[in-house]
Structure 1
């Protein structure tokens, strides 16, 4: 692995429209008739670079209106080899690696354009999925979701920076924020924060796929707490410094009936994967020109038990 001198320049332009082709989709091509990149790939990922003035790193959830930058820390781009999870999905799990893959998951929600319908239809599906698939889970609270689309008008675009959504202190604060009357009791047992990530594209993901690191290969000293400043409160996320020992993966051609479970925190310190998974969107240099841009939803959950 070598350090990249600057931001990567995509070798393709992602289309924001879906123009069907007469080509029949297969395991190797999408509905546009474009080849789906598969197998290992080397790509440039954005890791943490500390603030030049030595101050504590911070990030504003909403861009400041007074001219201040949204974050005060920089990026260190490194060329990383990512292995393909396709075909080796059963080799990974939440306890050992802090991520897991699920296939053939049905859903009654298809449009993902109505916030109320997402909460009425999709949220119960996610809650049932976690209770069914997470060993030991006894209770689930879904506390928010984010939809990301690869087009200039989208409120949220794919995040091309290696990060973890929660730290131990912010995870405990989440429990107190959402369940204040029960927090003292709940914090005495096992609690986890798990993101359920899925694409919304018609057909497989082509642009800006999601990369994940095997948490067991990520040292605690690689992680840096970052103040996550909301308009009404301050949380904390983790930025990630590059290390040669990290092992990175992506799941080629993810489809709408597949789910990536991303564990951002686990109060059980005995699990092998240490309970946190760095992740980021990335530019796959093999993505064909004109491929439809990635659309996705991630639902964040507190899982107790």
Structure 2
């Protein structure tokens, strides 16, 4: 699905302003159905990249093959302190940090609607396009090319390994794959890949999402991983731990919250900030009885 705006629209529309004052905690947003929502900084174990012991280039089979390990690289589990974005959302932007937050976003979809793929595309996709066109600086055209729903009972569980969905190579390949007739022209202008993430049964208390401030992530930390599909090859990036990295999470994300994750930006003036490592994580403060997290992420090509 493609939507085009006649002119770029400024970021941070007044209809959805960032909070201008510090967040004040109330009993209503600390407790949900008798369970206390974890807030504030927390130290957790995250899974980073460790190179294959045989020195081979890292790769992953998207569809596992009999008798062959699905991936050949290892995990480096490291304790990291996550700061809470709640109450300081206004400090972060896509251009400066490669992630952004939006609150009080209404939707025409209820939870049951996300069981229907056609409704997702006909109702929720246009909402996401509108959000991006109105709030991503310079965006003139949006092409949504994929979405993933994660549920405890589904076949797509939260990804508990630090990663970035795209590399410069795979971002360009996405343009060629989804817009082959226009790719040569589009690749000469600015193009970005942005994921829009939200819970379906918030507030989130299990497997919340952690993000790294892209300004604190060095290029040497990023390792291209070849993804081997039956009919093609793609890439994502694994992430090695670096003590300079600063990590955050957005406590108790609600269904009306939207977290934007920029996976690639062709604009070299902000290119260093054009990719955000992220991962689901286990919060040791998760209250007993908390429901499993359900979420949807939409992936978008943004031109302009």
Give the TM-score of the pair, scaled to structure 1. Answer: 0.89
Where does 1:18-57 land on structure 2 (aligned, <5 Å)?
26-31=28-33, 33-57=34-58
SS of 2:292's equivalent in the other structure is coil
Q: Residue in 2 aligned with 1:227?
A: 226
Contact 1:97 1:273 in 2 (8 A): no
SS of 1:27's equivalent in the other structure is helix
Output one character per residue of 1:90-119: Cα deviation in whole Å (capped at 9) or x when no partner.
Answer: 000000000000001011112210111111
**Separation in 2, partners of 1:255, 1:300:** 20
**Separation in 2, partners of 1:42, 1:198:** 23
**Separation in 2, partners of 1:62, 1:29:** 41
2:115 corresponds to 1:113: yes
Where structure 1 has 5 or more consecutive residues not aligned to the other structure, the ranges are 1-24
2:70 corresponds to 1:79: no
Q: Residue in 2 aligned with 1:178?
A: 178
**Separation in 1, partners of 2:121, 2:72:** 34
**Separation in 2, partners of 1:230, 1:129:** 32
**Separation in 1, partners of 2:67, 2:115:** 32
Contact 1:216 1:272 in 2 (8 A): no
Offset of residue 272 of structure 1: 6.8
Instruction: Kindly report the root-mean-square deviation, in angstroms, between the aligned alpha carbons of the 2 structures.
Output: 1.1
**Separation in 1, partners of 2:243, 2:92:** 20
Q: Residue in 2 aligned with 1:11?
A: none
**Separation in 1, partners of 2:145, 2:224:** 21
Q: Residue in 2 aligned with 1:63?
A: 64
**Separation in 2, partners of 1:120, 1:55:** 44
Where structure 2 has 5 or more consecutive residues not aligned to the other structure, the ranges are 1-26
**Separation in 1, partners of 2:64, 2:205:** 29
Offset of residue 289 of structure 1: 1.3
2:259 corresponds to 1:257: no
**Separation in 1, partners of 2:29, 2:193:** 33
**Separation in 2, partners of 1:204, 1:26:** 12
Output one character per residue of 1:43-86: Cα deviation in whole Å (capped at 9) or x when no partner.
Answer: 0000001111111111122333x132221111000000000000
**Separation in 2, partners of 1:180, 1:161:** 32
Offset of residue 87 of structure 1: 0.2
Offset of residue 215 of structure 1: 0.2
Give the TM-score of the pair, scaled to structure 2. Answer: 0.89
SS of 2:29's equivalent in the other structure is coil
Output one character per residue of 1:112-142: Cα deviation in whole Å (capped at 9) or x when no partner.
Answer: 1011111111111111110111010000000
SS of 2:63's equivalent in the other structure is coil
Output one character per residue of 1:223-265: Cα deviation in whole Å (capped at 9) or x when no partner.
Answer: 0000012222111000000000000000000000000000000
Question: Number of paired residues?
Answer: 276
Where does 1:1-305 land on structure 2 (aligned, <5 Å)?
26-31=28-33, 33-64=34-65, 66-110=66-110, 111=112, 112-149=114-151, 151=152, 153-201=153-201, 203-271=202-270, 273-305=272-304
Query: After TM superposition, what 4+ stretches of structure 1 lie above 4 angstroms from structure 2?
Result: none
**Separation in 1, partners of 2:223, 2:75:** 13
**Separation in 2, partners of 1:63, 1:42:** 33
Q: Residue in 2 aligned with 1:4?
A: none
